[in-house]
Chain A
Amino acid sequence: MDQEEERILRTIQTREITENIREMCIEANHFLSQDMCRVFYQAAEKEESPLGKQILEQLKENLQIAGEDRIPICQDTGMAVIFLKIGQEVHFEGDSLADVVNQGVREGYTDGYLRKSVVKDPIERENTKDNTPAVIHYEIVDGDQVEITVAPKGFGSENMSRVFMLKPADGIEGVKNAILTAVKDAGPNACPPMVVGVGIGGTFEKCALMAKHALTRNLEEESPVPYVRDLEKEMLDKINRLGIGPGGLGGTVTALAVNIETYPTHIAGLPMAVNICCHVNRHVRRVI
């Protein structure tokens, strides 16, 4: 039995996680993923407003400066949101997982000259001075690997995010209206062009988590579900007809993508969440 277990379980030293997260925090704040860059550059070609074009050009230059001069893309280097997908055949050795994750965030934000934006208590509001703690989402999956996603989230756009507890009778029209409402209300505050993450179904907290997770999906990948794929395209088109434009200063590029995740839900409900992200949609993924 012992021998059998040795063969199945893979041991990972938790300090390995610290080093990875440290690097990923720094990387995410200086470089956008390639899919994000490509989608951004393509969208910039399509902007109809001269002022909108000028702003998109500024944002392109900003990305270049960030990478070359090592200045964070945005000064709001976010609260570190971390998704850990842990294979059930992994055995951890060392300090506790939450501690090593937070140590990685602490080192990344300090060594990487990133802004410390986290307060210890939502009411008393004293800065923790090292950007910890992170918000960590654990998921146990098959296999013997650990997938880490580090997604620093800025709060200009986070503040404009919403949960809607729709009724089943509201149906897909209700979902569309809710997405448009959230985007319209966000307007210039969310630093458009935005990426819109949507979670439909599940429960109150499940839909919010899906909306957040949807933001980390490759923007060039489509949803595998046919009606969701159509909905993503339709909503992107509708959002870009709102006129909000780059910086909210008018234009035809308001969103870069709409990413939707769905989950089964209860006969009595249609919960959904819209997590708005700015054009600085940061995420780095590694598998160890």
Chain B
Amino acid sequence: MNKKIHAPISHEEAADLRAGDYVYITGTIYTARDAAHKRMQETLDRGEPLPLDLKNNVIYYMGPSPARKGRPIGSAGPTTASRMDKYTPRLLDLGLGAMIGKGKRSQAVKDAIVRSGSVYFAAVGGAGALLSKRILSSEVIAYDDLGTEAIRRLEVEDFPAVVVIDSLGNDLYETAVLQYRKQEA
């Protein structure tokens, strides 16, 4: 089903989404990938506050290419989410609303998604030019020294994504593949 949704995403709104829903996201989201996750983890370990409030917010696993003049951002598609699995349950337990990435998640992440009532979206990998056009503005808010891996606040409009893991723990990567698997000829 095609749905239009807003970010940040409350747990009540997340509860309405089902694996397989095609959504268009409008609102504010934040980018963070490998190096930013490592730093957020170290910050939490030291008992210090994170550079962004996680509550209901959406993290997009993405490191853009540089923006050309007059554009807010360069190519901006998702990166592989599983590399963030190690850090994710803790962020979900702190209130993270949703994640956008590509690829499978660990059982620990799925459990944390269900526990916290969150949701995992996939954006189409390798559609960085198209997704770039759905980003209206981009501003580095933390870890500027990490370059492409810095944390950015993005304003997005009709950003296309697919619900892969919903708050009930359904996983589209597992179910849809079975639906189209064919017996040996």
Contacts and interface: CB of A to CB of B under 8 A. Distances in A.
Nearest to A114: B65
A49 B130 CA distance: 21
Interface string A271-282: 000000011100
Contacts of B180: 48-49, 52, 243, 245, 250-252
B26 interface: no
B51 to A, nearest CB: 20
Interface stretch (A58-66, A166-174, A204-212): A58-66
Contact of A245 (B63, B76, B177): B177
A interface, size bucket: 35 or more
A116 B176 CA distance: 35
B69 to A, nearest CB: 9
A74 interface: yes
B17 to A, nearest CB: 15
A199 interface: no
A62 B125 CA distance: 11
Interface in A202-248: 237, 241-248
Nearest to A115: B65
Contact of A75 (B74, B82, B184, B185): B74
Given A115-B66, A188-B122, A249-B173, A76 B162 contact: no
B59 to A, nearest CB: 16
Nearest to A240: B182
Contacts of A244: 177
Nearest to B65: A115
B129 A65 contact: yes
Nearest to A30: B129
Nearest to B177: A243
Contact of A248 (B82, B147, B173, B179): B173
A242 B82 contact: no
A257 interface: no
Contact of A51 (B20, B63, B127, B182): B20
A34 interface: no
B22 A51 contact: yes
Interface string B94-108: 000000001110000
B80 interface: yes
Interface of A: 48-49, 51-52, 54-55, 58-59, 61-63, 65-66, 69-77, 113-117, 127, 129, 154, 156, 159, 187-189, 191, 237, 241-252, 278-280
5 contacts: A61-B130, A72-B75, A113-B66, A117-B148, A248-B177
